Structure 1
């Protein structure tokens, strides 16, 4: 039976999947070919804007435009003209629905997963060609394919001539440094504001210490302690807002620096001031620990 089995929209520059059909094909051969499709998605910029790849009883077709590629997996006897008309409809709908600035700034896989509804409906139409009313478009596409045939991608070009299991296929890494964190909470916002307040207080006292140093030739170590305290507070705010590697460890180190600076400055601050700075540091460290990266969407491995 000639059918479209799977379709996806992918950002061409890094292979980030933007949307995809969510049906789970039970055919093992189709599942294996989808692995080849994922490898191909990371090399899209190396190929022309209209391509076909044959793998066993299946074909992978895709078109690219404006930095976005539209890919599909179908049975080998599915008509090529229907396949590329299907991809053309996905392209027209996607570029009119979403702005390029949002596409280029997307950092999570399947950021436009709601487009799956259109993919599913279009896939159903093209899996029942008798219901199609786009006869003129089919004729135009047939002429275009005859004049400019799709580029045939070989498995050798992907380094997959020995199969998908004979190579180490690195996991997608394009989004790891910018993974989104869980939504902000009220306590998290309060902790961040308090950290900014502490940073401001340290900065003001630091400038006053600089003035005193210039006038009285005092010890410069207090100036350093105030500015280090400022930097530690600001860095805690940064760790609370952004996801980085070793984030929790860095937050504990920043809190340790806050404690050390306040221990050194104990003669210049009363007990309540010391308690306030250390407590805010501890509270912010806790909020950084509690605000974890968002889990992958349910369709991540679609």
Structure 2
């Protein structure tokens, strides 16, 4: 059975890998990778590499890879023999590290014993498309927030004159924050959005209880219904399923 060996090197944030037959020596593989690295760095600078998030801009480099591959597979120029001798000497002084499959496996976000920090929000995560009912809940939230803002500003003008209105103006400000938070939770993904959504709904209920007397029953029911609809939309809007990357 013809075994395949995988060799790779890393330099300046870029890794270069080759899979070759066991008949190729390790020195030949690393010599190939070194030439590949030089050609790649000559073709792309740090800025162009840093701006790329997918491999497609590097497709044109495949012609260079094929040229180097042909050079190593079918040629035996003196320069190649000189480079090979230098690499063999370097490998003798500093042997390459041999990795097993277990060394390269990833477990729950931990690669080779090093865990990557995970933030509370995932900016790269994509939510499912906004539905018509979701747009309606957003519009109603914006309308309720605007009404509370207008009423709150109006009450603040009379806070010094009528001290009893002070707490109610504060509650309207809290109301405004809750509706704004519900809009944010619906549009963007957070790891604890359900908990935050239900806490926001609870605060809306409490505010409506404290505001009972300044609003009639229909106003209270309307604000409660809007908050409940938003909470339902937040809870049911899921992340898009990730498709397998089939890139180069």
Bin of the TM-score, shorter chain as denominator length: 0.5 to 0.7
Does residue 1:59 correspond to 2:4, yes or no?
Answer: no
Matched ranges for 1:162-241 at <5 A: 164=103, 170=110, 173-174=116-117, 177-178=121-122, 179-187=124-132, 188-241=134-187
Which of 224, 245, 249 is the aligned partner of 2:195? 249
Shift of 1:232: 0.9
Higher Cα radius of gyration? 2
Contact 1:202 1:229 in 2 (8 A): yes
Contact 2:152 2:173 in 1 (8 A): yes
Shift in CA distance, 131/252, structure 1 to aligned 2, threshold 3 Å: same
Matches of 2:239 and 2:95, distance apart in 1:
38
Q: Which runs of no fewer than 5 residues in structure 2 stay unpaired?
A: none
Contact 1:125 1:132 in 2 (8 A): no
Please list the CA deviations of residues 63-120 of structure 1 after superposition, one character each: whole Å capped at 9, or x if unmatched: 22xxx423324445343332123344455666599574x45xxxxxxx4154575577
Contact 1:61 1:73 in 2 (8 A): no
Shift in CA distance, 122/298, structure 1 to aligned 2, threshold 3 Å: farther
Contact 1:181 1:294 in 2 (8 A): yes
Matches of 1:153 and 1:268, distance apart in 2:
80
Matched ranges for 1:36-115 at <5 A: 57-64=5-12, 68-75=13-20, 77=26, 78-91=28-41, 98=48, 100=50, 102-103=51-52, 111-115=53-57
Contact 1:196 1:233 in 2 (8 A): yes
Shift in CA distance, 277/113, structure 1 to aligned 2, threshold 3 Å: farther
Matches of 1:205 and 1:128, distance apart in 2:
76
Shift in CA distance, 70/261, structure 1 to aligned 2, threshold 3 Å: same
SS across alignment from 1:266: coil
SS across alignment from 1:215: coil
Contact 1:239 1:288 in 2 (8 A): yes
Matches of 1:73 and 1:245, distance apart in 2:
39
The two structures, once aligned, show a CA RMSD in angstroms of 4.5
TM-score (norm 2): 0.67
Does residue 1:299 correspond to 2:241, yes or no?
Answer: no
Contact 1:181 1:291 in 2 (8 A): no
Matches of 1:227 and 1:60, distance apart in 2:
59
Matched ranges for 1:22-37 at <5 A: none
TM-score (norm 1): 0.57
Q: Which runs of no fewer than 5 residues in structure 1 stay unpaired?
A: 3-26, 31-56, 104-110
